[in-house]
Structure 1
Amino acid sequence: MKSLLLNSALLAITLSLSAIGGPTASPALAAETPPAAPAAVETVDVDPALWVVKDADTTIYMFGTVHILKPGMGWFDEAVKEAFDKSDRLVLEMVEPGAGEAQQLFAKYGLDKSGKPLTSKMTEEEKAIYTKAMEKVGLPAAAFEPFDPWAAAVTMQVMGLQKGGYDTNSGVETQLTAAAKASKKPISGVETMESQLAIFDSLSQETQVKFLIEAAKVVDDMTTSMDAMVALWAKPDPDGLAKVMNDGLTDPKLYAALLTNRNANWAAWINKQMEKPGTIFMAVGAGHLSGTTSVPKLLTAYGIETERVAY
């Protein structure tokens, strides 16, 4: 389940939570000192994979994203920038709601309504693993007590990645959104923050606790694992990236919820968009664009062939 911890769907949520100070639902976390601004770094040119589907009057570019990156990744140029500039609008997995709405949604889906403390849902062995991991991210074990296990897991992940030098402001969606606003391109999402949070809230408590404990076990390796996946994204090696990201989803129900069902919805959305003229730049988590149940694979059922853009 190690790969699951950094799945693109989870990072979309951690991006949202961190953008609103996700852990602000906990007073203990609200008191944390924000990290210092990163020092200037040299930009490294990378060329992530870009796909396109098109017919006589419609073009849809599909760009696989990483939702949180270290500063200094120069990906927004060459064919990616050209495709973005040609596009009439930007479509993301979701458009971030305002801070107030996001906090309300987190309270609705990420906090335990019964008031049952998080650690009371764990065995003594699990509690020991969790407590040790919290020490490593610099928080008391009690900090996440109001959280559902899944919310504690994703918050722990983003905090671990931030300690390893990752910055949500360097994420692909953040930069694309800024560019779209600057060029006055309409921005929309194929999902909402609420629908994404609801996916995790619908998981059984047993699955959520397992997810949290697996996150706690690998907190030391989180940055190393993410570095390896970003290297595959940057190379690019989309098939290798999909394998690393998605092989950890060994639970069929979880795999369907996080990948197959969502990919099927997005493929249907693309098929419908092909009926309308125009050019779209669609940016979704890279794990959704490669593999046996990827969006490009599912598009073949509609008779739509996907091409890799060479650059």
Structure 2
Amino acid sequence: MTRLFRRAGTALALFFVAPHALAQTAPAPAPAAQVQDADPALWVVKDEDTTIYLFGTIHVLKPGLSWFDEAVKKAFDESAEMVTEIGTMPDQAAIQPLLMKHAISMSGPSLTERLPEEKRAAFTKAVTDAGIPVAAVDRFKPWFAASQLGLVALQKAGYDPNSGVEQKLSEAAKAANKPVSGLETIDQQFGFFNALSEEAQIKFLTESLDQLENVGPEFAKMVAEWSEGDAVGLAAIMNEALRSSPELSKMLLADRNARWAEWIDTRLDTPGVVFVAVGAGHLAGDDSVQAMLAKRKIKTQRIEY
């Protein structure tokens, strides 16, 4: 399990829309640099009258990475609609009751009390360094505290949710009056984490505390593989580590990818062109969406560009 949770803080940016409800730290200023070209992987599923593009996203990126061009832009422009993990991001007023439902515990032991004694000082220091009030975080559930600390670490390393792929795609869809829908909801995504066992959530948080300093470098490796379109390399970094925890691997990957493959199978019955954009980790490895589609005898084709 340790291999998995070394990367726990970065996993959210490959598998889930990052729940940055409280983590609002501004990215560290970066020196001016030339725009870097990126060619992330793109796949397509087709039948006689339906085309579905599959594009893997990174939910937070540093500014200055050029990926929305060439084949990706062409596929997006050809599509009559866009489908992402959660569709249009709800506003904070809609998110707050979901946080109370899935991420906050107003009774029982505090989060500090739930942690192993030897991890409590590190937890307090990490929260203080992140600029989040300790009293507020003490009512967080462990999964949410881990996600917030991981996201703050990414922001301090220069990554910005506003530079993420979904943000840019959503802006482009709005400008083109392209309808946007979601495969899941924020309620469901929060619920997946909340459904993890207490043991898994605590492990998620304690291992995240141990690895906060490594979040930036680990994530940089993932972004590099994504930028090069190396789905195999991305799977080697991320998905194989997830198998160390059957509980989290099943929740993050296998179950969701199977449901999304079913959605694609059903959507093929309706004519049209669709651009589907989900976390890049879902399109790599043995439990990928493509693998789930293959079980349904549906072929996916990599678009080379």
Fold shared by both chains (TM-score > 0.5): yes
Residue in 2 that maps onto 1:278: 272
- Does residue 1:44 correspond to 2:48, yes or no? no
- Does residue 1:132 correspond to 2:113, yes or no? no
User: Could you tell me how far apart the structure 2 residues matched to 1:110 and 1:101 are?
Assistant: 14
User: Could you tell me how far apart the structure 2 residues matched to 1:202 and 1:92 are?
Assistant: 22
Higher alpha-carbon deviation: 297-306 or 36-45: 36-45
- Does residue 1:186 correspond to 2:218, yes or no? no
TM-score under structure 1 length normalisation: 0.91
User: Could you tell me how far apart the structure 2 residues matched to 1:109 and 1:238 are?
Assistant: 32
- Does residue 1:256 correspond to 2:259, yes or no? no
- Does residue 1:6 correspond to 2:10, yes or no? yes
Match of 1:93 among 72, 85, 92: 85
Where structure 2 has 5 or more consecutive residues not aligned to the other structure, the ranges are none
Match of 1:55 among 47, 60, 65: 47
Secondary structure, aligned partner of 1:83: helix
Contact 2:126 2:209 in 1 (8 A): yes
Match of 2:160 among 164, 167, 172: 167
Deviation at 1:33, TM superposition (A): 7.3
The AA in structure 1 aligned to 2:198 is: Q
The AA in structure 2 aligned to 1:147 is: F
Instruction: Write the mapping of 1:2-151 to structure 2, written as runs, cut at 5 A.
Output: 2-8=6-12, 12-14=16-18, 17-18=19-20, 22-23=21-22, 41-95=33-87, 96-139=89-132, 141-151=134-144
User: Could you tell me how far apart the structure 1 residues matched to 2:234 and 2:28 are?
Assistant: 31
User: Could you tell me how far apart the structure 1 residues matched to 2:222 and 2:144 are?
Assistant: 23
Contact 1:152 1:212 in 2 (8 A): yes
Could you list the runs of 4 or more consecutive aligned residues of structure 1 that deviate by over 6 angstroms after TM superposition? 36-39
Deviation at 1:3, TM superposition (A): 2.5
The AA in structure 2 aligned to 1:212 is: L
User: Could you tell me how far apart the structure 1 residues matched to 2:53 and 2:161 are?
Assistant: 23
Contact 1:4 1:248 in 2 (8 A): no
Secondary structure, aligned partner of 2:213: coil
Residue in 2 that maps onto 1:241: 234
Secondary structure, aligned partner of 2:241: coil
User: Could you tell me how far apart the structure 2 residues matched to 1:259 and 1:244 are?
Assistant: 15
User: Could you tell me how far apart the structure 1 residues matched to 2:100 and 2:33 are?
Assistant: 37
Secondary structure, aligned partner of 2:264: helix
Deviation at 1:124, TM superposition (A): 1.2
- Percent of aligned positions with the same letter in both sequences? 46
Q: Over the residues paired in the alignment, what is the CA RMSD in angstroms? A: 1.9
Residue in 2 that maps onto 1:303: 297
Contact 2:232 2:284 in 1 (8 A): yes
Residue in 2 that maps onto 1:203: 196
Secondary structure, aligned partner of 1:218: helix
The AA in structure 2 aligned to 1:196 is: Q
User: Could you tell me how far apart the structure 1 residues matched to 2:55 and 2:155 are?
Assistant: 24
Q: How many residues align?
A: 299
Secondary structure, aligned partner of 2:212: coil
Contact 1:8 1:286 in 2 (8 A): no
Secondary structure, aligned partner of 2:238: helix
Secondary structure, aligned partner of 1:161: helix
Deviation at 1:134, TM superposition (A): 2.9
Residue in 2 that maps onto 1:26: none
Contact 2:9 2:149 in 1 (8 A): no
Contact 2:239 2:284 in 1 (8 A): no
The AA in structure 1 aligned to 2:45 is: V
Where structure 1 has 5 or more consecutive residues not aligned to the other structure, the ranges are 24-28
Distance 1:9 1:115, change over 3 A: farther
User: Could you tell me how far apart the structure 2 residues matched to 1:163 and 1:71 are?
Assistant: 13
CA displacement, residues 152-179 of structure 1 (integer Å, 9 cap, x when unaligned) = 0000011110000000000000000000
Residue in 2 that maps onto 1:265: 259
Higher alpha-carbon deviation: 52-61 or 239-248: 239-248
CA displacement, residues 104-125 of structure 1 (integer Å, 9 cap, x when unaligned) = 2112111014253110101211
Contact 1:3 1:247 in 2 (8 A): no
CA displacement, residues 215-246 of structure 1 (integer Å, 9 cap, x when unaligned) = 11111110000001000000121111122112
Deviation at 1:133, TM superposition (A): 2.8
